[in-house]
Structures are given as structure tokens and as C-alpha cells.
Structure 1
Amino acid sequence: MADESKPVVIVTGSSGYLGSAVVRRLHGCYRVVGLDRYSPPHPPHQAECVCFDITDQASIDTALDRVRLAYGDRIAACIHLAGYFDLSGEDDPAYDAVTVEGSKRLMRGLQGFELEQFVFASTMLAHAPTEPGEPIDEDHPLNPRFPYRASKVRTEKVLREVRGDEKLVLIRPAGIYDDNGQSTFLTHQIARIHERRFSGKVYPGDLSRGQAFLHLDDFLDAVERIVDRRVKLPDVFPVLLGEADPIPFGELQRLIGRELHGEDWITWNVPSQLAKLGAWTENKVFGEDAFIRAWMVDISSDHYELDLSAAKKLLGWAPQHSLREDMPGILQRLKDDPYEWYEANGLNAARVSAAKVENAVAEEAAEKAPTEAEAKENRREHDEHMRQMHFSMLWVHWLVMALGLWLATAPSVFGTFDQTEFSAAVQRVTEDRGLWSAATRSWLTAWNNVFTGLAIMVFAALSLRPGNGWAQWANAALGVWLLAAPLVFWTPDAAVYANDTLIGALVVALTILIPMMPGMSREGMMDDTDIPPGWTYCPSTYVQRLPIIALGVVG
């Protein structure tokens, strides 16, 4: 059973990232009660979970009656972490219902207790940004510029107005991170660079500016000191929490690039309107759930540098971490296991699933790796098999040579070198579209067929020799050209048009579709697995192909 001599502390939002960490930190010296939503997840086992709806006064009263019954009327502190936030940047009624009015309802409900201290989690961003070298203190002007910040500013004002005998602490932390990342904005920045995305190479703001961060351990230390020193603190105590020396955005980009890719990451400045257009295009045109929003572009040059005098004087607190020093460790965890790091930080782990599969395959391959002698024999057998397969498919290249010969001689058969008589329809189209004369177009088509046919014969002859896969690709390119050439030259003869497109299609099929596609690596062909890296199934089975075949038949 919990030690009933310990003071009682209520933590709202106790199942969240910060709330659960606060519960575990305070559990040793306090009896912790977790107030949170009815739905899972629930607070850590160190706290009793009391479910409530902060938007409903009756639900709050019921939850507090349960607290009174189990713990009595005396409460040392309420750490109020529950609030509303979304990334859209748009105003939402939930900001008022949850953050502003919810906090007001909770404080009024707690005023029926012997509450010593009410601690409200605001944000450093409630203040207006500053300039480099001009730190913000608690008296710096507030700036309710965006809905989230405005909700915190309004809540602070409301709590000051409805406060009773209890002491009010307004903690304004910087962006909180831990050894694995966790900070939403920070981890997305890391992911963009890790994946070498173009959006990780551009920035619309001043690269010499930055924003302070706060390590989770430093945040928890400050919260514990606030509760421990509740008797000595002022009646209303706003306090900024963050690192002393924020790292500029450009330096942070270079640090991440250097740790992940061994290079100083180059970041280009782009106009803000172009950045907004890019974010809109990702979201609306390409259907990507892009993280970057237009409002983020608007704050990209904001600078937040903190004066920590109040925390040092009244709490004896100073940060023990800095993002600059912690970043290599965060990035090392990403490099060690990208999939797990993405999962832990709520990112799209599918983007790095190939790394997970590759690691698993590498581990399995290491266990089943043949000896050097076995590997050498396997390579010899494979090379011999490829040689036999090549000679069994020589008829393909002879047939391609025959097609090339036919193509080169076809102009003489069709009489297109000196063709002068054309139908009235051909003459009418020539005049309507302002084309070269039909005789000129026929002549160009004829010589194109001669040269292309001779080239096909040469490359087909070269393809007879093993190892000349490039010649097959050259013939495939010529086949594609034959499909387009009659359109390029506006070939006036229907028979020539049909002949060229038919020969082109056959050359493509015979060079890279019927024989094994040239250029495949020995390692790839010797790999017996059916599932490619990054996939959970084989995308090339007949089950996958049948719908495409059916659609092709319908088409």
C-alpha cells in the first residue's frame, strides 16, 4: 500500500508522454493520482487512474469526489498537463473547451480542497520572439499569434483571475526532447535529412536563428523542485525552462547531416511563398501527409533565447543537457535501428522498412553463409548456367537481325524513296497543318528505316557474344524510337507506319522481354528469396498480375 504520510499530487494528462514521466518521477516522494480520459492508454501503474472529461464540469466533480474519498481534502499540488494541440494551425473549439475552460473548471473544482499549489504547463512560445543576444525573461511581452499559443495565454490570464488561496505556477518550457528524440518538430527535421528529402535541403527562414530546447530529465527535475519548494515560491510564479544556449537552425542542419551522412548538410534559403507552395503541393497535389504547414513557414525566423534567472534563483535549477551535445546520441540510436526509432517517434516507419528487412536478411544470410569454397562453386555453377541460357536464346538475336534487314530493305519494297503520288486526304492534311511536303516526309522515313535497320543488325550481332547486354538495351532503345518515328516524321504511307511500329514492338520484346533482362547482377540472380527488401509480400506473382492482365483485356 502507498505510504499515507506522503503528500498527494494530482497529475492531469497522466497517460501522455510528459504526464507518465512526471508520474514516475514524483512517485518516490508523493502519492500520485492520475486524471485522464476514459479511453486508453492509462497512466503508469505508479499512479491511481481516475478517469474524467475535462470539458464536463459534472465529470470533473465526480472525479474529484473520488479523490476526496480516497485521499482526503489536502492536496500538495496539481500538475496540470492536459491540453489541446494540433498541427493544422487552424483555430479549433477544442482550444477553448479543453485548454481554457477546462483549466478553469479544474481549478475551481480543486478550490474545494486544501490545495497548496496549481502548476499549469504553458509554453515558451507564449512569448513574442526575440533577437539573437537578447534573452527572453518572464516579463517579456506575450504574443497570442497562433491558436495554440493564444490558448495558453488566455488560460494563464483566466487562472490568475480565478485563483484563490492556492499558489499558481506557470511553467513555460521550451520544446521537450529525450535521448530518443520524441520532440515532434525535431524528429521530423531529422527524418527529412535522414531520407535525403528535398524538403530537408531548403529553409524559408533565417538560418542563424534558433529556438531553445529542453531535455525531459531537466523538465522533470524542474517540476520536482517546483513541488518540493511549493511553500517558498511566490503566489504567482511564471518560470521559463530551457537550455541556456540555443543552437541555430543552420548549425543544427549541418550537425544532423554530418552525424548521419558524414557531410556538412547544405541548406538553401528559399522565399517563404515558395515554401508554402511546396507544402501545399505535397499535401494537395501529391496526396502526401506533409508535416510542414504554412503557419510553420511564418515562424521560421522566430528566435527564442531564454533568461533562466528566475529558475536559478527560486528553484536552484539549471539545465544539465543541451541539444548540441545530445544530438549525436539521438542520431546514433537512429542509425542503430531506423525502424524502431521511427516507430518510437510516431513517424512513418514504412519509409525505413527496407533497412529493417535488410538487417534481418543480413543476419539470416550471415547464419547461412556458405564457406568460401562453396561460394566459389556456387558462382561457377551460376556462371555456367547463365552461359548455357545465353546460347539457348541465340535465335532471338538472329531473328532481330532479320527484322533489321527487313527494315533496311523495306523502303525499296514500298517504294518510299521516290514516292510522289499521294491520296487527296494526305495532301489535305499536309496543307491544313503546314507540314513538309509528303514526298519529303516519305523520303525522311525511308532513310530513317535504312539507318535504324542497319543499326539493329549491328547491335543484334554484338548481342550474340555473352556480356554485351548493353547492345540489347541499345536495340530496345531503337525499338522505342521506331514506335515514335512515324509520328515524328508524319509518315504519309499507312503501310510504312504499320511496318515501323510492328518492327519496333518486336525488337523491344525480343531483346529485353523474351530473353533474361540484361544487366542483372550475379548477386541478385543468385538470391533465392521472393520478397524484395521493404515489402511484406512478393509484388510479382500471378495473383498480383491477374488484375492488370484483366484490365488490359478490357482495355
Structure 2
Amino acid sequence: MTDPTASSWSGRTVLVTGAEGFIGSTLVDLLVERGARVRALVHYKPYGEAGYLAHHLGPGSPVETIAGDVRDAGRVMDAVAGCDTVFHLAALIGIPYSYQAPEAYVQTNVTGTQNIAAACHRYGVRRLLHTSTSEVYGTALTVPIAEDHPLQPQSPYSASKIGADMMALSYAHAFELPVTVVRPFNTYGPRQSSRAVIPTILAQLHAGVREIRLGSLTPTRDFTYVTDTAAGFLALADCDRALGEVVNLGTGREIAIGDLTEALIAATGRDARVVVDPARLRPAGSEVQRLLSDNSRAREWAGWRPEVGLAEGLRRTSQWVADHLHRFSVERYDV
């Protein structure tokens, strides 16, 4: 796919919140490649860990790192001032931990999004791209899942993201904020943490574990490679048709977790069997059984197409996990 916006980012100043994370850092890399000046809002750490932005640090870098927290309205105002476009990816993620600390999810995801939207409105940004998640749909009632599918808060995490999405859209209706809600489906790839299913399977395989410990094997997911998701953000940032709208980013294909595991076992050449770990099972009413995207809006409105197929994406991810196995805790289950 030829991206019509490939050269349009030169000279623009953009803010990426959650920039040190999995998708955020990949988006920063793509923006730098396209010539943008990137302001990266990262969560403050007293030990100064730069994470996946470390290669952008140093004199002359087009990336300016700002430490802060999206819950801090004043700090958010400082970060947004002077930016052309804001990509809001900062969020408290991880479904299991949301059962333990739901209030923290509301504070970061809902209040944090309100702070971002208010700052964008105050400074008149050209576009705000707010990051949603396919988890807001819950178990599919109809497939493929289009953007008008009912929202089902099957976990405190998904409830907080529904609230965040509605907060962002309320600024479009009430204040004419130029916002688009970007809703990725199960992004995967290099840099993803062991809290996600693909890296947790691969880490166990590459560590030589003979029993792969997982939760439910029957749910299906629509896995999208991370560079495709990042390219979708850029395409939608210049798509006027998407203003005030929600847009899915998914491949339109699904695979069951059990079948995915078998494919990863075969791809790595390891000898292992799958064991269902009760500690990894979601509460019965919280498990999302099926996610399969309708990506018509992204394709028709923004010209976006996923380019990396699942087999190639899994190969790349497997190699990255093997090369960075020290980052993963194989024996401990991280919520």
C-alpha cells in the first residue's frame, strides 16, 4: 500500500502520549521516519528509564521527551501547547489488574482523556487521535464487528475505555474538537509485554518450557501487526471523513487462541503441550469470546490496508522475543 500521507508530516510538531509503550514507541518511530518533530509524553520514572525511546535520545534528536502523567491537567496543558496533532495512547491497560484496581483505570483512562481533550480544545490542535480498544465491544453479538456494534463493559478495563471514548467524542459534539477515536483490534508485535497472549506464549516456548500455561483457549481474536496499527493512526490523522467518528483497525480475520498456540509451537519447532492455568482465566461473565473486525471505514475513508499477514507477523515477533528473552518472566504470571 502506498501511503498518501507519507511525506505530509515533515516539519509538524506532534504529541504522542504513552510514547514509551509498545504501540506508542512504534508510532514515534514511524513519525520520525516521516519527518515529524515528536514530543513524547512518558510516565515519570525516578530512575530515568527511557524504554523503547532510548534510541531517540541525544543531541539533535527530533524527539523531545517530557515526563509526566495524563492525570495531571497542568502537565498535559504544557505538553499539548504548540502541537499540530495529538496521538493519545497513554492508558492503564491489562484486563486482570483492572479487577483489582478499577479506580486507577477510571483515573488514568477517563480523567486522563478528559485532560487531553481539554488541552487540545484550549490550544486549537488540528487533530486529536484518541486510542480505544476492541475490548469495548465485548463478545461479538454480530460479526464482523462494525463501529455501531453495542458497547459491552465486560471488565473494569473495558468500562474505563468506553468512558474515555465517550469523553473524547463529547468534546467533538460540545466543543467541535477535531477528534477521531481509533479502535485497534489486538495489536501484536515486537516490544509487546508478557501481559499479552502472543508474547507470553513465545516467551515460554523460547525458554524451553514443556507446558504452555494459558487461560481459555476458545476465544477468537483479530490480530493486527503493530506497524499496520501505527500506519492506521497516521492515515486517520489526515482523514476528514473520520472527524467525530470511531474507526476500527483490524485485519478482518480471526483465530482461536488454541489454534494460535499450535501455530506458534509449530513455528518455533518446540515440543510443548498446552495446559489451562486457572489463575489466567477471566471471570465467566468477563471473558470476551469473539472479536472480528469490520475495517470498512479505515479502508474506504483513509485508504488503510493491513500489510503484514499473521504468519509473517508471528515470525517477526518470535524472533524479537527470542532476542529479548531476558525481558520476560516465564515462571511468574504478570497481571
Within a 5 Å distance, the mapping from 1:67-466 to structure 2 comes to 68=81, 71=82, 75-86=83-94, 87-90=96-99, 91-130=101-140, 134-163=143-172, 164-178=175-189, 184-193=196-205, 195-200=208-213, 204-206=216-218, 209-227=219-237, 229-230=238-239, 232-261=240-269, 276=278, 279=279, 292=280, 294-295=281-282, 302-331=289-318, 338=322, 340-343=323-326, 346-348=327-329
Structure 1 residues 259 and 57 mapped into 2: Cα distance closer, same or farther (>3 Å)? Answer: closer
How far apart, in 1, do the equivalents of 2:180 and 2:28 lie?
18
Q: Secondary structure at the match of 2:305?
A: coil
Per-residue CA deviations over 1:499-555 (Å, capped at 9, x if unaligned) read xxxxxxxxxxxxxxxxxxxxxxxxxxxxxxxxxxxxxxxxxxxxxxxxxxxxxxxxx
CA contact (8 A) 2:210 2:273 kept: no
1:499 aligned partner: none
Matched, 1:30 2:36: yes
Per-residue CA deviations over 1:179-205 (Å, capped at 9, x if unaligned) read 5765622111233455444454x7645
Q: Secondary structure at the match of 2:122?
A: coil
How far apart, in 2, do the equivalents of 1:179 and 1:107 lie?
30
Within a 5 Å distance, the mapping from 1:482-497 to structure 2 comes to none
Structure 1 residues 199 and 223 mapped into 2: Cα distance closer, same or farther (>3 Å)? Answer: same
Per-residue CA deviations over 1:134-182 (Å, capped at 9, x if unaligned) read 2101111111111111111001112222332321111111222225765
Q: CA deviation at 1:253?
A: 2.2
How far apart, in 2, do the equivalents of 1:219 and 1:7 lie?
20
Per-residue CA deviations over 1:277-330 (Å, capped at 9, x if unaligned) read xx2xxxxxxxxxxxx2x4277655611111110110111011112323432444
Task: Return the structure number with greater helix share.
Answer: 1
Q: CA deviation at 1:348?
A: 2.1
Structure 1 residues 328 and 143 mapped into 2: Cα distance closer, same or farther (>3 Å)? Answer: same
Structure 1 residues 180 and 261 mapped into 2: Cα distance closer, same or farther (>3 Å)? Answer: farther
- For structure 1, the 5+ residue unaligned runs are 280-291, 352-555
Per-residue CA deviations over 1:46-94 (Å, capped at 9, x if unaligned) read 3212333322223333x24xx64xx4xxx43110011112432414322
TM-score, scaled to structure 1:
0.50
Q: CA deviation at 1:5?
A: 7.8
CA contact (8 A) 1:8 1:32 kept: yes
How far apart, in 2, do the equivalents of 1:301 and 1:92 lie?
18
Alpha-carbon RMSD across the aligned residues, in angstroms, is: 3.0
Q: What is the letter of the counterpart of residue 167 of structure 1?
A: P
Identity in percent: 22
Task: Return the structure number with greater strand share.
Answer: 2
Per-residue CA deviations over 1:3-34 (Å, capped at 9, x if unaligned) read x9823211111222322222221123322222
Per-residue CA deviations over 1:347-375 (Å, capped at 9, x if unaligned) read 12789xxxxxxxxxxxxxxxxxxxxxxxx
CA contact (8 A) 1:83 1:99 kept: yes
Per-residue CA deviations over 1:198-232 (Å, capped at 9, x if unaligned) read 454x76453xx4101111110111111122x24x2
Per-residue CA deviations over 1:443-489 (Å, capped at 9, x if unaligned) read xxxxxxxxxxxxxxxxxxxxxxxxxxxxxxxxxxxxxxxxxxxxxxx
CA contact (8 A) 1:13 1:35 kept: yes
Aligned length: 307
TM-score, scaled to structure 2:
0.80
How far apart, in 2, do the equivalents of 1:244 and 1:250 lie?
19
CA contact (8 A) 2:42 2:69 kept: yes
How far apart, in 1, do the equivalents of 2:317 and 2:72 lie?
40
After TM superposition, the structure 1 stretch with the greater mean CA deviation from structure 2, 185-194 or 145-154, is 185-194
